[in-house]
Amino acid sequence: MTVTTQRRLHRARAAEFLAPLQAANATEGQADIDWVALDAVPHWCFEPPEYTNKLQLVSGAMFLAPAIRNWIDGKRIQELRALLGPIAFAAVARSSAVTGSSENFEVAEDVPEALARGGASVMLGAIDNADVRALLGTLFPMDVEPIDQSIANAIYEISLSTVHQAIVAEKTADNKAAAQAALTAESPVKELAENGQ
C-alpha cells in the first residue's frame, strides 16, 4: 500500500470517526474539519476499546512515574501492577522522568482514576490540532486538561512502545501455551495412559 493510499484510508476512517462526535457536540461557529485535522486524528481512535484503555493506563502511569516511584504502600503498588500487567509495570518502574512531567505530583486519588486522568491528559496533549483535541476530549468521562504537547509527545511515544511490547509478549505467551496444550493433547504417553497401557 502506497503512502498516498494509506493517507486516504486514514482520512476516510478519521472522517467517519469524527462525524458523530461533531454532530453530538455541535456549536455555533464550529470550525469544519479539514484535511489537516483528519491527518491529526490519532490511530487509537481506530483500535479496539481494550487497546485504547491499555494505552490510557500506561500513558497515565508513565506521566505519573516520578510520583509513583515514591510510593511505599504495597497495596497501591500491587494494584498498579495488576492494572498494567508485568511488562508495562516494569517499563514504568525503569522509565526515566520526562522533563516537565509529574515530578511534584502527588497521586491522592485512587490508582485507576489517577492513571485514567493522567493518560487522558497525555493522549489529548499529543494531538496536534485544537479542533480534533476538543472533539476527542469528549470521549473521556472525566474533565481533563491536556498537558504540554512536547511533554505529551515524549510520554506518548514511550507508552505506545510499551503497549506494543506488552501485546507481543502476551501473544507469544498465549501461542506457547496453546502449542504446549496441543503437544500435551497429542502426547503418545497420554494416549497410552488413557488406553490403560
pLDDT in tens, the chain (197 residues): 899 999 999 999 999 999 999 888 877 556 678 999 999 999 999 999 999 999 999 999 999 988 888 888 889 899 999 999 999 999 998 887 665 555 545 566 689 999 999 999 999 999 999 999 999 999 998 888 999 999 999 999 999 999 999 989 887 866 666 666 666 666 555 554 555 55
Query: According to the model, what pLDDT value does residue 25 have?
Result: 80
Terminal Cα-to-Cα distance of the chain (whole angstroms) = 57
Q: Any idea what DSSP says for residue 71?
A: -
Q: Which long-range contacts link 110-114 to residues 24+ away (Cβ below 8 Å)? A: 111/76, 111/79, 111/80, 111/83, 112/57, 112/79, 112/83, 113/142, 114/60, 114/64
Helices (H) and strands (E) in the chain, counts: 9, 0
> Which residue type occupies 174?
D
Query: According to the model, what pLDDT value does residue 15 have?
Result: 94
Query: According to the model, what pLDDT value does residue 70 have?
Result: 82
Angle in degrees, CA 45, 140, 88, rounded to 5: 70
Q: In whole angstroms, give the CA distance from residue 35 to residue 12.
A: 10
Residue with cell 491522592: 108
Instruction: Find out whether 98 and 154 touch, Cβ atoms under 8 Å.
Output: yes
The closest of 27, 92, 36, 82 to 59, measured between CA atoms, is: 92
Q: In whole angstroms, give the CA distance from residue 155 to residue 138.
A: 21
Q: In whole angstroms, give the CA distance from residue 33 to residue 41.
A: 11
CA distances from 66 to 14, 100, 149, 170 (A): 34, 10, 19, 27
